[in-house]
């Protein structure tokens, strides 16, 4: 029900009581954020997602993943007549020290945060599927996220083929997408060129929200482990091992954006040594 309320707010400026609301009104913004925060908490406690997020008409066209990174593989698939990307956890390489249940929680959080975003420079999330890779498998093995397939690949791939001018234009749009996230009080947490895809209209699409946190949700914004994220793109304060906790914030996202600009300009990662 909470997810249906959030979806209805995307297409309507009225709630069920007869009070016209602007999408910029404090009540509208506060209500949707509170509802989304509650939905995240319910999902974390129950380990479940709203039924409206599940996609049934989905097929996978690959036996082996063609792309991927970190703890996830990305397969090519079809959702009806549309080509899609299917993101699945790499359970076979997850160290025994990592709790599979915790990784599922991260995946659930990524879906719920990602699904509510709507911006021309943010990659859409269609939903999830738990049956494609076997319904009898564990949640960490079967749950996958479905999004549009991007034939042009990542921003780093595109720049290596298209030159610096094209890269500069895309970076300005990446900044627009990042500003949208921050306006929604969402911290990406892992911005870099490989987490920006290029769509068929040659527009950048920010993706990979596995480390995204709500800026106003203090508990979710802090971690006690100095792990996760792309090390070379992380702000210096996130590397301070003398701190018991550290926090990703708008400023650390901006630092990562600056590193991304540097990354695609000379076509090498930050702090690169030959």
Quote the pLDDT of residue 202: 87
What parts of the chain have a pLDDT lower than 70?
1-30, 44, 66, 68-71, 91-101, 103, 134-141, 162-169, 211, 213-230, 239-246, 266-274
- Whether 112 and 43 have beta carbons less than 8 Å apart is answered as yes
Quote the pLDDT of residue 234: 80
Quote the pLDDT of residue 156: 83
The domain made up of 53-148 is a member of CATH 3.30.200.20: yes
- Residue 34 burial (C-beta neighbours within 10 Å; 0-12, 13-18, 19+): exposed
Quote the pLDDT of residue 32: 72
Q: How far apart are CA 148 and CA 218, in angstroms?
A: 31
What is the CATH superfamily name and number for domain 155-264? Transferase(Phosphotransferase) domain 1 (1.10.510.10)
Quote the pLDDT of residue 99: 64
Q: List Cβ neighbours of 94 (8 Å cut-off, separation of 6 or more).
A: 71, 100, 103, 140
- Whether 196 and 264 have beta carbons less than 8 Å apart is answered as no
Quote the pLDDT of residue 9: 44
Question: At 220, is the secondary structure helix, strand, or coil?
Answer: helix
Residues in the chain: 274
Question: 83 forms bridges with which residues in the sheet?
Answer: 78
Confidence (pTM): 0.75
């Amino acid at each position: 029900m909470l997810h249906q309320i959030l979806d209805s707010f995307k297409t309507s400026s009225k709630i069920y009581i007869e009070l016209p609301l602007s999408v910029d009104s404090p009540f509208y913004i506060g209500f949707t954020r509170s509802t989304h925060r509650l939905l995240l908490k319910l999902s974390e406690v129950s380990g479940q997602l709203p039924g409206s997020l599940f996609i049934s008409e989905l097929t996978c066209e690959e036996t082996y993943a063609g792309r991927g990174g970190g703890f996830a593989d990305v397969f090519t698939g079809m959702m009806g007549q549309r080509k899609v990307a299917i993101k699945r956890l790499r359970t076979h390489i997850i160290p025994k020290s990592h709790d599979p249940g915790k990784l599922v929680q991260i995946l659930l959080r990524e879906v719920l945060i990602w699904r509510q975003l709507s911006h021309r420079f943010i990659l859409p999330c269609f939903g999830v599927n738990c049956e494609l890779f076997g319904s009898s498998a564990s949640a960490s093995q079967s749950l996958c996220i479905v999004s549009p397939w991007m034939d042009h690949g990542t921003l780093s791939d595109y720049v290596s083929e298209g030159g610096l001018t094209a890269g500069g234009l895309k970076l300005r749009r990446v900044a627009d997408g990042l500003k949208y996230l921050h306006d929604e009080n969402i911290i990406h947490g892992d911005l870099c060129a490989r987490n920006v895809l290029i769509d068929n209209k040659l527009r950048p699409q920010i993706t990979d929200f596995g480390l995204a946190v709500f800026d106003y949700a203090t508990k979710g914004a802090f971690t006690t482990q100095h792990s996760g994220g792309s090390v070379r793109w992380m702000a210096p304060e996130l590397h301070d091992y003398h701190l018991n906790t550290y926090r990703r914030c708008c400023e650390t996202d901006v630092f990562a954006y600056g590193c991304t600009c540097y990354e695609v300009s000379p076509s090498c990662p930050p702090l690169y040594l030959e």
